[in-house]
Structure formats: structure tokens, C-alpha cells
């Protein structure tokens, strides 16, 4: 007679994992993910600068390099341009130091006397570059800055006015609520556009 066959299990046998390998208990609010922004720019020069400062921020203890890398990867909106007048004002009394701007340096017709400045920026407008060189200064690129000051010593890190965009006027608390200075989105500033009761304290009351 043939040997008796042992009964087969139709379902799978699930083995419980050891206690140390079980899942983590996530608190309310979930897990905090810190994903660093990577630039979407296809400009090869920006890409190479990101590569260079990624290396410098990893291999040196300089916070300057980490900030430059972060700003190089920022959106175009966050790389606001800086005018020559603002640059000259911020660099007053800082002789011998290099002004560093991760953005564009633009010319300013209101500045009659341009001081001698060493400026490192991603881009200079044609007239801004001409006025810096005419005053005896120099315009540097970030790869030259990395050779001259790899740790960021002797530099002044500056930034353009990021919140100066027109659209920023409309952000914040709702227009009309107490202590709000937010600009409403209206077609015109005329008499009949959002100037009636409830909008102004001089017309009965203000919300």
C-alpha cells in the first residue's frame, strides 16, 4: 500500500517578526521629512556651481558654503536682484571685503558716485558691470570666489529684497479685517471700488 500523504495547508503560514524588527510607532503629526530643494534650472553653469559648492559644503566645516549651496538651489523668485545703490550702502565701512550675492546685481541711476567694490554674483547687468569696473572694482564669479576664499573668509553675504514683489502685497490677513495691511485685489482705486460702508471707518464702520 502507498504511504499516507500528510495533509497540505491551503493558506500561507505567517511568521511574526521578532520584537526588535516591528514597525515604528509614529506620533500624532506623522514623520517629519526634510527634503532639500534641488534646482530645476538647466543652465550648465548653475549646475556646475551646485556641484562645486556641494563638494565644498561636504568637505569643509564652513557654514558659508552650506548657505551658498542652499541659495543656488532656490527658485528664481528667491534669488531677488540687488541694486548698486543698496549694495554700496550695505558695503559702507567694509573695505577690503568681497560682497557676495546669489542673484543679479543691477545698475542704479540714482547712485552718482560708485565706490570701489569687489562683488561676486551670479550675473551682472551690462551697465552695473561697467560702473563697478570704472570705479576700480572687480566683478567675480562663484568659481573664482571658491579659489580665492574657499571657506568664505573676508566676505559679506548679501541678499536682494525677496518680499518686494507686487504679489506679496496681497498675501497675509484678509483685506479689511482688523490690523491687516493686506492690499485687496480690485480692478481700480476709484470711488466706487470697495470704498463703501464696512470697508472704511469714515463711511459708517470698518469690519
Divide the 207 residues of the chain into consecutive groups of 10 and give the mean pLDDT of each group: 59 64 75 87 95 96 96 95 96 94 95 94 97 96 96 96 94 87 91 84 82
Query: What pLDDT does residue 16 have?
Result: 67
Prediction pTM value:
0.77
Query: What pLDDT does residue 25 have?
Result: 74
Query: What pLDDT does residue 197 have?
Result: 85
Query: What pLDDT does residue 17 have?
Result: 64
Query: What pLDDT does residue 124 have?
Result: 97
Query: What pLDDT does residue 5 have?
Result: 59
Query: What pLDDT does residue 18 have?
Result: 67
SS3 string of the chain?
Answer: CCCCCCCCCCCCCCCCCCHHHCCCCCCCCCCCCCCCCCCCCCCHHHHHHHHHHHHHHHHCCCHHHHHHHHHHCCCHHHCCCEEHHHHHHHCCCCCCCEEEEEEEEECCCCCCCCCCCEEEEEEECHHHHHHHHHCCCEEECHHHHHHHCCCCCCEEEECCCHHHCHHHHHCCCCCCCCCCCCCCCCCCCCCCCCCCCEEEHHHCEEC
Is the Cα torsion angle 187, 189, 194, 199 positive or negative in sign?
A: positive
Amino acid at each position: 500500500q502507498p504511504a499516507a500523504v500528510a495533509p497540505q495547508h491551503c493558506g500561507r503560514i505567517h511568521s511574526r517578526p521578532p520584537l526588535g524588527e516591528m514597525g515604528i510607532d509614529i506620533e500624532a503629526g506623522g514623520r517629519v521629512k526634510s527634503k532639500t530643494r534641488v534646482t530645476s534650472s538647466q543652465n550648465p553653469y548653475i549646475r556646475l556651481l551646485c556641484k562645486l559648492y556641494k563638494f565644498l559644503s561636504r568637505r569643509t566645516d564652513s557654514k558659508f558654503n552650506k548657505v551658498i549651496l542652499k541659495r543656488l538651489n532656490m527658485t528664481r523668485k528667491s534669488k531677488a536682484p540687488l541694486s548698486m545703490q543698496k549694495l554700496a550702502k550695505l558695503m559702507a565701512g567694509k573695505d577690503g571685503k568681497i560682497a557676495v550675492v546669489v542673484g543679479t546685481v543691477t545698475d542704479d541711476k540714482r547712485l552718482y558716485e560708485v565706490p570701489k567694490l569687489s562683488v561676486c554674483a551670479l550675473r551682472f547687468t551690462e551697465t552695473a558691470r561697467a560702473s563697478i569696473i570704472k570705479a576700480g572694482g572687480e566683478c567675480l564669479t562663484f568659481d573664482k570666489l571658491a579659489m580665492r576664499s574657499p571657506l568664505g573668509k573676508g566676505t559679506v553675504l548679501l541678499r536682494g529684497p525677496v518680499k518686494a514683489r507686487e504679489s506679496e502685497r496681497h498675501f497675509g490677513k484678509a483685506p479689511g479685517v482688523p490690523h491687516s495691511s493686506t492690499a485687496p485685489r480690485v480692478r481700480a482705486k476709484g470711488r466706487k471700488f470697495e470704498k463703501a460702508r464696512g470697508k472704511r471707518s469714515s463711511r459708517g464702520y470698518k469690519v
